[in-house]
Amino acid sequence: MIAGKSIHDWQQTHPLIADLIALKETAWFNPAVLPAEHALADVGLTEQDKDAASARLDRFAPYIARVFPETEKTKGCIESPLKSIPKLQILLESRYGFELPGSLWVKLDSHLPISGSIKARGGIYEVLKHAEDLAIANKILDLEDDYAKLDNNEARAFFSNYRIAVGSTGNLGLSIGIVGATLGFEVTVHMSSDARQWKKDRLREHGVIVVEHASDYSAAVEEGRRQAMQDSKCHFIDDENSKNLFLGYAVAADRLKQQLASAGVLVDRDHPLFVYLPCGVGGGPGGVAFGLKLAFGDSVHCVFAEPTHSPCMFLGVYSGLHDAISVQDVGIDNVTAADGLAVGRPSGFVGKAMQRLVDGYYTVSDDELYALLALFDRAEGLRLEPSALAGAPGIARILSRDQDAYRTRMQLTPSVLQSATHLVWATGGSMVPETEMNAYLSRGKAILAA
């Protein structure tokens, strides 16, 4: 029984649940979405909150540039490139067998400095916010200071009195661990069983305490939360509920807006922007989508992508149960090669905040993720981790014949679609060790050849 109804009854009222259980690639476009001017109020956060996060990152930029020299050329701004990928678009047309009008781009969060994934946005932001709060309260920092002064032994000794804990499938731990340890904090990362060995090794090299769990992400988070609750000097970074993580991700949108403008890409009602975001617990894609809705209003269409084995946000929003349902509750195993997306229960906060702002949700099989990984490499010479490919089929899902009703409802006429921009948010991969990447690529090539 789930929320007082049997799985059979749920399937009667929500027929796509049967497709999810059968692990079929599935898409759902939510008829309850509303214009941004109405639905943004659901979020409980404002444009001012996002701007405050952006200003905080600016204050830390001199410190970031100093301790992470790879960010010197961007003056300590942690940002990724935007790239047009027309060759991939052609390969996708032949793979999916129909025309894909509009232009295809990729946002390379895979190549974000410091930790090589989208978590370098939210994860690092929350650590910096915590550090600033502590340092200001204890009068070792003033808002007007040059924050580069935090790169000294006295500041590190101060932060070493405090602890940070987090539960992660890998990338969040990597981001928080690297920045937290650099500031001087004692950081403990609770890793789920699907976390890659190299991510654990990398963290231990930075002096981070890595606790390995035999269970999945939700259990690792729970253990982190439990330990931190017993320790008043420990800050638990709550991937399932944190508004700070969410705001750190949201800052991406204004920067993307500038990048699109410099690239001469117009976004308005007649030139819509579609953004395909890989979704795990939901904070990353939710925060980015919140920022996008603030920046572009109804000219942007956000779509979340999940593995067929872990469609937690799809299931949560579609059933209306949010974090009161997990994929395991309906017999789905939450076992996927897309380790960053291996989450069985969605964030209740993000699902409820964003459900009327996100156009739709779709699932991708692991084999398709590997095939797309190989296609990206072949077409564009870009190497991504499996999770990061979930957004790549989005353009074909939107334009598929199955979604006529959605396109009509959104007034996406053929001429508007000719002028559309489709953006694949590539969420990770540049730090994957070469041997591991070669194994991913050969697996993908084998699937393409089959």
Comparison of 107 and 255: residue with beta carbon closer to ligand PLP = 107
When CB distances to ligand PLP are compared, the closest residue is: 280
What single-letter DSSP state applies at residue 169? Answer: S
Interaction between residue 244 and ligand PLP (CB under 6 A): no
Comparison of 134 and 176: residue with beta carbon closer to ligand PLP = 176
Looking at residue 229, its amino acid is M
Comparison of 7 and 45: residue with beta carbon closer to ligand PLP = 45
Name the minimum Å distance from CB 39 to ligand PLP.
19
Distance from C-alpha of 151 to C-alpha of 138, rounded to nearest angstrom: 17
Name the minimum Å distance from CB 344 to ligand PLP.
12
Q: Per-residue x/- mask for ligand PLP, residues 25 to 64, rule CB under 6 A?
A: ----------------------------------------
Tell me which residues in 289-328 interact with ligand PLP (CB under 6 A).
none
E strand spans, 249-403 = 273-278, 300-307, 360-364
Q: Per-residue x/- mask for ligand PLP, residues 98 to 137, rule CB under 6 A?
A: -------------------xxx------------------
Distance from C-alpha of 360 to C-alpha of 428, rounded to nearest angstrom: 22
Distance from C-alpha of 23 to C-alpha of 208, rounded to nearest angstrom: 37
With CB under 6 A, what is the number of residues at the site for ligand PLP? 19
Query: Binding segment for ligand PLP among 8-16, 17-25, 47-55, 276-284 (CB under 6 A)?
Result: 276-284
Which residue of 171, 188, 218, 310 would you call a contact of ligand PLP, by CB under 6 A?
Answer: 171
Write out the H or E segment, with its range, that includes residue 108.
strand 103-108
Comparison of 277 and 412: residue with beta carbon closer to ligand PLP = 277
Tell me which residues in 334-393 interact with ligand PLP (CB under 6 A).
340-341, 385, 387-388
Distance from C-alpha of 299 to C-alpha of 336, rounded to nearest angstrom: 33
Name the minimum Å distance from CB 281 to ligand PLP.
4
What single-letter DSSP state applies at residue 346? Answer: -
Comparison of 102 and 283: residue with beta carbon closer to ligand PLP = 283
Q: How many C-beta atoms lie closer than 10 Å to residue 290's C-beta? A: 27
Name the minimum Å distance from CB 193 to ligand PLP.
16
Contact 410, 431 (CB under 8 A): no
Name the minimum Å distance from CB 22 to ligand PLP.
24
Tell me which residues in 277-296 interact with ligand PLP (CB under 6 A).
278-285
Comparison of 184 and 285: residue with beta carbon closer to ligand PLP = 285
Contact 350, 60 (CB under 8 A): no
Who's near 310: CB < 8 A, 6+ residues apart? 280, 327, 332, 334, 336, 338, 341, 342, 343, 344
Contact 66, 148 (CB under 8 A): yes
At residue 30, φ and ψ (nearest 5 deg) are -75, 115
Question: Which residues face 106 on adjacent strands?
Answer: 83, 424
Which residue of 354, 428, 431, 432 would you call a contact of ligand PLP, by CB under 6 A?
Answer: 428
Comparison of 76 and 280: residue with beta carbon closer to ligand PLP = 280
Tell me which residues in 388-417 interact with ligand PLP (CB under 6 A).
388
Pairing of strands 234-237, 273-278: unpaired
Name the minimum Å distance from CB 195 to ligand PLP.
11
Using CA atoms of 53, 122, 307, 410 in order, give the dihedral in degrees to the nearest 10: 10
Who's near 435: CB < 8 A, 6+ residues apart? none
Comparison of 114 and 388: residue with beta carbon closer to ligand PLP = 388
Query: Binding segment for ligand PLP among 27-35, 66-74, 275-283, 433-441 (CB under 6 A)?
Result: 275-283
Write out the H or E segment, with its range, that includes residue 424.
strand 421-426
List contacts with ligand PLP (CB under 6 A): 117-119, 171, 278-285, 340-341, 385, 387-388, 427-428
